[in-house]
Amino acid sequence: MELERTLVLVKPDGVQRGLVGTIIGRFEGTGMKIVGMKLMHVSEDLASRHYAEHEGKPFYDGLVNYITSAPIVALCLEGPDAIAITRKLMGATRPNEAPPGTIRGDFGIEVSRNLVHGSANKQDAAREVGLFFNDAELIDYARSNDVWIVSDEG
């Protein structure tokens, strides 16, 4: 079974509202493994590289200003279908469209304060993980319960 890695950011509103532990717990509860994690301030340079696809759009400056406004928690999660599972658990970008049981559906209020970011696809995940983590910051390790989370039967 192929394992994927994906980037998750607990955005400034998630950190400021004291939801970091709750949000991380939701991801860990799926069985995904944290292989990288750090509390950090996002520089304007990193923000501009992270949001490069949105440069020139009317909301771009707001994205950069917001993500650099306070600390975030960056996570690299690993597991089978990690990207799709993460996206489903986060819920729709607009919290009022996210179903109950998702992070944004349970805790979000508005689109500009939607608590979390997750990579959209494999290409974005590879690029984004590389922006926020260097190889030495990602740790490969086995957990004793991995056999109960990931089947080797495919």
Catalytic residues: 117
Q: DSSP label at 97?
A: G
- Nearest alpha-carbon partner for 14 in 128, 91, 131, 109: 109
What does the block give as tokens for 6? Answer: 């994906």
Do β-strands 3-10 and 33-40 pair in parallel, antiparallel, or remain unpaired?
unpaired
Distance of CA 125 to the CA centre of its chain: 10
